[in-house]
Amino acid sequence: MDNETLLDMAADLGYELAVSGAETFRVEESVSRVLAAYGLQAEVFAIPNLMIVSLIQPDGHNLTRVRRIGGHDNDLDAVEKYNALSRVLCSRKPEPSEAQEMLARVKAEYLLEYPVSVQHLGAFVGGAGFSLFFGGGLTDCLCAGACGVVISLVQKFLTKRRVNSFFQTISAAFFMALLAYGMGALGLTHNPDAVTIGALMLLVPGLLFTNAMRDIIYGDTNSGVNRIVQVFLIGVAIALGTATAWQFASRFWGTPQSTPAIDYSIFARCVFAFISCCGFAVLFNIHGPGMLLCALGGALSWGVYLLVLETGSTDLMAYFWSGLFSSVYSEIMARIRKYPAISYLVVSIFPMIPGAGVYQAMSYALQRDMDAFAKTGLHTAAIAGILAVGILLGSTVFRMYSDRHAKRR
């Protein structure tokens, strides 16, 4: 057997999974299982920016491949396709050269990608839906959709010029918020806060946050901490961009003023969550029935949050049960449809991610109300933490069940 070709193919498969947005454990596990299916023992080490695969041959000699991993995408269709290919390789065990051709064929022919116009539409729908979700009206919804398109345009423009994600986020947040405050000054929107928060959700690093939690679950602490730091830096970039826009708007048009948020019914907010998650499914390149199932998970998870609140529980307990439900729903869908759970989890938790808390904390800081800033900031961090605990618990229980089931078999 051509072990060098097989090792190259397995390393390339792991690399493609990593750059598409797969969790660290999935990258390592996929490479290890493919090589084990051919009767080869391998050691795989992956962190967000590097992967090392070392193959121990029957004659005792080692072969090693190193892959430097650059930027990470949000292409969950690619994660699904490469994950499915790893299953096929494990079951069929084709010749190494044929396996390499299969990998090249998946990359060249089978990966789906929405046209740029549809991606902009997804940004419009995501921003508009979340504007309604956070209490905006119809005009606020349309303005938030326009701001979402601005974010999409700025990010694509800067991506082509290889600008790093930190400055991409600052720039996109600045131009989006400046447009929202400008439309408020012109009277096109009466609630620029709802417009800004709705569009701001497009910049929230949901996939990074989800992958960080799942890496920690599976013992990949280095990768999990690495991703958590990236989440923190992106949060800082969002705050800097919107804060700068607020300062500009205050100087030229006066302090932005917003009307009170509209108190929609539980059913209406769940519908708004579903619409928003459909837009995010497009942005994460999810296709077919999976898009609707992901969006349904987001609506149901938010419904769980609202129902727990109705029982008199605190909002933190509501976030915990909502995160737990989202995790369980994702694991069940993954097993039914034979797709990675991350595809469902990353979209279904978006309605619970405290984007509004980040924006409100920034607003209090600009108004120099440090007590409110500290209180809101700590509460936002607590929401993120308790949401992570719910996700961790659900995924851990399913992981234990899967391991026990595998041992029985």
Same domain, 102 and 120: no
The residue out of 79, 110, 141 marking a domain boundary is 110
Q: How many CA atoms lie within 13 A of 114 on its CB side?
A: 23
Backbone angles phi, psi at 66, to 5 degrees: -120, 135
Query: Are 293 and 208 members of one domain?
Result: yes
Three-state secondary-structure class, residue 38: coil
Same domain? For 197 and 136 the reply is: yes
Q: Give me the DSSP letters along 288-336.
A: THHHHHHHHHHHHHHHHHHHHHHTT--HHHHHHHHHHHHHHHHHHHHHH
What is the model's pLDDT at position 218?
Answer: 72
Take residue 234 and report the two structure tokens written for it: 């992106």
What is the distance in angstroms between the CA of the first residue and the CA of the last residue of the chain? 29
The pLDDT, as a whole number, for residue 166 is: 87
Same domain, 60 and 123: no
Residue 145, pLDDT score: 95
CB neighbours (10 Å) of residue 232? 11
Half-sphere exposure in the Cβ direction for 164 (13 Å, CA): 7
Same domain, 159 and 295: yes
Q: Both tokens of residue 397?
A: 């229980």
Q: Which domain holds residue 252?
A: 116-408
Per-residue pLDDT tens listing for the chain (409 residues) = 688 899 999 999 999 999 998 888 889 999 999 999 988 888 999 988 899 999 877 777 788 999 998 777 888 899 999 999 999 999 999 999 999 999 999 988 888 889 999 999 999 999 999 999 989 999 999 999 999 999 999 999 998 888 888 899 999 999 999 999 999 999 898 899 899 989 988 988 877 777 787 777 677 788 888 888 888 888 888 888 988 998 899 888 888 888 888 888 889 999 999 999 999 999 999 988 889 999 999 999 999 999 999 888 888 999 999 999 998 999 888 888 888 888 888 889 888 887 777 777 777 776 777 888 788 878 887 888 888 888 888 887 877 776 666 666 6
Residues 225 and 164 in one domain: yes
Looking at the structure, do residues 140 and 188 belong to the same domain, yes or no?
Answer: yes
Domain boundary at 94, 110, 126, which?
A: 110
Residue where a domain stops, chosen among 88, 110, 132: 110
What count of other Cβ atoms lies within 10 Å of the Cβ of residue 218? Answer: 18
Positions of E strands within 57-195: 62-68
Tokens of 1: 């057997």
Count structural domains, the chain: 2
pLDDT for position 175: 95
Q: Rounded to whole angstroms, how far apart are CA atoms 325 and 89?
A: 33
67 and 102 in a common domain: yes
Are residues 149 and 296 both part of a single domain? yes
Residues 47, 166: one domain? no
Considering the domain architecture, whether residues 395 and 264 belong to the same structural domain is answered as yes
Query: Are 87 and 70 contained in the same domain?
Result: yes
